[in-house]
Amino acid sequence: MENDAGRFNMNREGWLEMTHIKETLYAHSKVAEKKEELVKEFISITKSQDYINNIKPYKEELAKSCIRSSLRFSSKAMEFTKLLVEDILKTKLEYSKYYVTLPYILFHLPNDKTEQSGIHTDRRKECKNSITVWTPINTFKNTYPPISIFPKSHSLLAYLGQKLVKKIFPNLNQEGVMKKIGIRRLDVYPSISSTYIWDAELSHMGNLNSSENYHCALVIKITEKPLYLEPSVKCKDLIQRTNLKFIEFNFIDMYKNLTKHIENIEKMSLESLNIEEFISNVYDYRKLIDLETRRALSFTLSEVASRCPNQPSSNYFDLASYMVEKGNIMGLERHLRKCTDKKVVLRVFNKLSKFEKFNTYQEFTLFNKLKQRFKVDAINLRRTSIVHGW
Ligand SMILES: [Fe+2]
């Protein structure tokens, strides 16, 4: 960590590297060790006969999601995240009023095409000012650049410049457009003991893992307003917490459990006569699952749905992700975004309202967005939890 506050300044380049020292360095190495242990278990599962015989298209995503959940909720990742936020606040006190998300784990298998991303920014209007905090979680140095960034692309000038170039050269791709205004791609070969931070407006991309190694990264977002898609906590509250809530999963049991639950939910999606029946069935089924498993299951359902969008139940997995544990509402948003028919949206809401109070900030924000999208004032969130007809 740079001690000189002046060095923690992303204004010009839009990104910086933060090298860990002391407890953060140690905590980081412990998360990386845990990840390598989990990778060994992952490999043993994927070599088992059961796995090889399994014909489900989502089996690999499910196994990957076990690594990601195990790490995400572990004491090692939580402690590291807390120290990381503390380090950031030491030089940027204004972030103490900001919010931070739970650690989100990226896991890239060798040649894993589902993890590649095009050039994008992490900007979300609702979050206002925000930064992305990306830490490689490996005990080895990457031989390929897991991410590429475009320094200085976050400025208003760069934004206007790109708009102009696109008008003049409509056939240029985005990288070509940025090149015209002097912004060049920087491939990041990360140090094993650093964190990389960028402004949410900065263009960047995730690259294909062309190495033989299993690459992992831990990502948190620090946002002025809470990210409405998942739970977050105020930075200053996180660093004062002495009792962080962890979950330590047994990897093999978790894999077996999640496989069983997902297959059961898939079966419900195929056998339910309509969406209302599916919703009732999932809420009934939920009662049989403990909270810790539900948190991992909710995350897994949403990840499987987003990475295997063509499999027939993916739309139902998105909805079930919310019903199983509503902290993460990414799945619900995706499910509703796909509905173009107001009547269907209304049916889903009416049925959900029998089970949920819709009383969280996340739900409130999502529903307000829906109200705007359909130009209706039918969802009265303050006075009642019931969704009226429109
Ligand atoms: Fe991103």
Q: 252-279, pLDDT tens digit by residue?
A: 999 999 999 999 999 999 999 999 999 9
Alpha helices in the chain (DSSP H): 22-47, 49-53, 59-72, 75-91, 156-168, 174-180, 235-240, 251-271, 275-286, 291-307, 314-324, 330-338, 342-352, 361-373
What pLDDT does 378 receive? Answer: 55
Q: Quote the DSSP letter at residue 272.
A: -
Q: How far is the CA of 117 from the centre of ligand 1 (A)?
A: 8
How confident is the model over 293-307, as pLDDT tens digits? 999 999 999 999 988
**pLDDT score of 5:** 40
Residues around the ion ligand 1 (C-beta < 5 A): 122
Residues 221/98, Cβ–Cβ less than 8 Å: no
How remote is the CA of residue 66 from the centroid of ligand 1, in Å?
22
**Gap from CA of 354 to ligand 1 centroid (Å):** 36
Paired with 107 in beta bridges are 216
Q: What is the mean pLDDT of residues 329-346?
A: 85
Element (H, E) at 312: none
Of the listed ranges 37-41, 237-241, 243-247, the least confidently predicted one is 243-247
- DSSP per residue over 109-135, as a string? -TT-GGG---SB----GGG-SEEEEEE
pTM above 0.85, yes or no: yes
Angle between helices 291-307 and 251-271 (to 10 degrees): 60
Looking at residues 79-89, what average pLDDT do you find? Answer: 95
Cα(234) to centroid(ligand 1), Å: 22
Residue 275 pLDDT: 92
Residue 1 pLDDT class (50, 70, 90 cuts): very low
